[in-house]
């Protein structure tokens, strides 16, 4: 199967680099209006016009921005179409492109370093064999979760698509607090980043769950418990829960 990627921006470029590691570079085609981006990626088959690329591929991976997609007029009726565009529904993609076989997905930012999580849903016309290929594509840059209802893609968007921002925000807050407590800018950055990245690596080992690690570091009557008790009294869990709900609502509002 020949795979054509439309869009060589940050995410598209990361996906291309992952795909050529898993598949033959001869089977991966990329289209972007910027020849400079294509040259920077060192693509084997690069195109600046979509119409020149389409006859060569069986699968089209839509990696453009939603507003750009609105300006594109393509006949993809004979292609398996995989969208990584936020907020564009299966129905809209099918109606816009004439595609019968459509996958809608939401990869998150760590896909750029091969540690992404992609939630995806396929319409009823996508075959089991095609789903296997979709899984291969997504696992080239991280892990994947298939869901059966399109509404769950909005849920994954709020949890995982937005998730890195929650992590970065906590890191930012810890760094700012370190500064106010008298540490230098470099020291504050090192403390915040190393603390959270180190904790993430511990969790990655799969020897304990997040709850078990939290309990392991929370000695009864100790310093950590004092901080966590304050968060609980201030209803941090409720606030965070409501934030996720707000993200889901916004994802649904933006869906086209």
Domains, in order of start, for the chain = 3-147 (3.40.50.720), 163-254 (1.10.3730.10)
Structure letter (DSSP) for residue 159 = I
**Residue 6 known to bind ligand:** yes
**Residue 9 known to bind ligand:** yes
**Residue 8 known to bind ligand:** yes
**Residue 108 known to bind ligand:** no
Structure letter (DSSP) for residue 15 = H
pTM of the prediction? 0.90
pLDDT in tens, the chain (256 residues): 899 999 998 899 999 999 999 999 999 999 999 999 999 999 999 999 999 999 999 999 999 988 888 888 899 999 999 999 988 999 999 999 999 999 999 999 999 999 999 999 999 999 999 999 999 999 999 999 999 999 999 999 999 999 999 999 999 999 999 999 999 999 999 999 999 999 999 999 989 999 999 999 999 999 999 999 999 999 999 999 999 999 999 988 887 7
Plot region of 114 (φ>0 → left; ψ -120 to 50 → alpha; else → beta): left
Nearest to 5 by CA among 21, 14, 20, 16: 16
**Residue 182 known to bind ligand:** no
Paired with 172 in beta bridges are: none
**Residue 152 known to bind ligand:** no
d(CA 203, CA 210): 7
């Amino acid at each position: 199967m020949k795979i054509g990627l439309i869009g060589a921006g940050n995410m598209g470029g990361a996906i291309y680099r992952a795909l050529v590691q898993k598949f033959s570079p001869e089977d991966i085609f990329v289209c972007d209006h910027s020849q400079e981006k294509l040259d920077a990626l060192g693509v084997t088959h690069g195109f600046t016009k979509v119409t020149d690329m389409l006859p060569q591929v069986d699968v089209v991976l839509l990696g453009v921005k939603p507003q750009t997609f609105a300006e594109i007029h393509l006949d993809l009726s004979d292609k398996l179409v995989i969208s990584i565009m936020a907020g564009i529904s299966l129905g809209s993609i099918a109606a816009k492109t004439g595609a019968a076989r459509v996958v809608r997905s939401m990869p998150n930012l760590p896909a750029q370093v091969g540690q992404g999580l992609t939630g995806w849903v396929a319409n009823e016309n996508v075959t089991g064999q095609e789903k296997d290929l979709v899984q291969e594509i997504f696992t080239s840059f991280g892990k994947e979760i298939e869901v059966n209802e399109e509404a769950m893609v909005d849920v994954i968007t709020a949890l995982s698509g937005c998730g890195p921002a929650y992590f970065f925000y906590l890191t930012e807050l810890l760094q700012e607090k370190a500064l106010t407590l008298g540490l230098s800018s470099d020291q504050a950055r090192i403390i915040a980043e190393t603390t959270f990245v180190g904790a993430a690596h511990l969790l990655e080992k799969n020897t304990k769950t997040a709850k078990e690690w939290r309990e392991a570091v929370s000695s009864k009557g100790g310093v950590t418990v004092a901080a966590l008790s304050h968060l609980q009294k201030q209803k941090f869990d409720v606030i965070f829960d409501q934030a996720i709900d707000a993200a889901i609502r916004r994802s649904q509002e933006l869906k086209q």
